[in-house]
């Protein structure tokens, strides 16, 4: 099975002092190193015409580009979508920590393998406002916008928390549509929760070149 849309929200490891401790991402969810993300054989999931829509960390653009290249894609734009975060109850901007300025947005890059899939809706805007949910969770609207953009094509969400209707999924919090390891892709038993297999860490230096 191959896909025309691959939607990914990798659990990036942050390179700052807030990475650990009870306020850091490592306390809130399991993260992966750059080398381990790059080693996932996403290139085997991509069809001849495939869009990669991937969330990335603004302090680590080079890491995002290494993943794009390792997965067999070429970059279109670092800002396919920008999510302006708001508070669910008050509706005002949700202000984070940031660097120099206070952060209140996240970006999704677009990359392509093969030829660019046909765009069905030319009216979709890059900047989208939506309320913030639990830590690191992205709004459902972005899945819907990708479908509006490219249509009801074969699609998968990687590092998913739930299995969305119409999407295949892979992650450690959802029912998986396949088993994905650094070397092999196998069909998963239907309707059976699958944990992400343990990946033997590889030094980041192996993908740094």
Residue 9: pLDDT over 50:
yes
Nearest residue to 137 (alpha-carbon basis) of 33, 41, 29, 62: 29
What's the number of domains the chain is made of?
A: 1
Quote the tokens at residue 141. 């609207």
Residue 179, strand partner residues: 186
CATH number at residue 147: 3.40.50
Give Cα 50 to chain centroid, integer Å.
Answer: 15
Domain hosting 48: range is: 3-207
User: Residue 180: which pLDDT band, with cuts at 50, 70 and 90?
Assistant: confident
Residue 196 has pLDDT above 60, yes or no: no
Mean pLDDT value of segment 47-60: 96
Phi, psi at 207, each rounded to 5°: -115, 5
User: Do 150 and 117 contact (CB within 8 A), yes or no?
Assistant: yes
**Predicted confidence band of residue 174 (pLDDT cuts 50, 70, 90):** confident
What average pLDDT score do residues 77-92 get?
90
Output the average pLDDT for the chain: 84
What confidence tier does 18 reach under pLDDT thresholds 50, 70, 90?
low
């Amino acid at each position: 099975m191959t896909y025309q849309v691959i939607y990914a929200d990798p659990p990036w490891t942050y390179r700052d002092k807030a990475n650990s401790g009870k306020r850091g991402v490592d306390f809130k969810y399991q993260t992966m190193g750059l080398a381990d993300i790059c080693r996932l054989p996403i290139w085997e999931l991509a069809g001849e015409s495939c869009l990669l829509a991937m969330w990335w960390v603004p302090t680590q653009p080079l890491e995002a580009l290494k993943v794009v290249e390792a997965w067999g894609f070429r970059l279109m734009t670092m800002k396919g979508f920008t999510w302006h975060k708001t508070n669910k109850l008050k509706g005002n901007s949700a202000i984070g920590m940031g660097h120099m300025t206070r952060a209140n947005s996240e970006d999704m890059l677009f990359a392509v393998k093969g030829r660019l899939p046909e765009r069905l809706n030319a009216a979709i805007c890059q900047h989208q406002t939506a309320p913030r949910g639990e830590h690191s969770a992205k709004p459902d609207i972005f899945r819907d916008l990708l479908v509006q953009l490219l249509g009801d094509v074969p699609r998968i969400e990687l590092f998913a928390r739930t299995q969305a209707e119409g999407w295949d999924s892979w992650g450690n919090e959802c029912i998986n549509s396949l088993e994905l390891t650094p070397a092999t892709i196998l069909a998963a038993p239907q309707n059976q929760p699958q944990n992400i297999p343990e990946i033997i860490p590889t030094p980041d230096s192996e993908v740094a070149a």
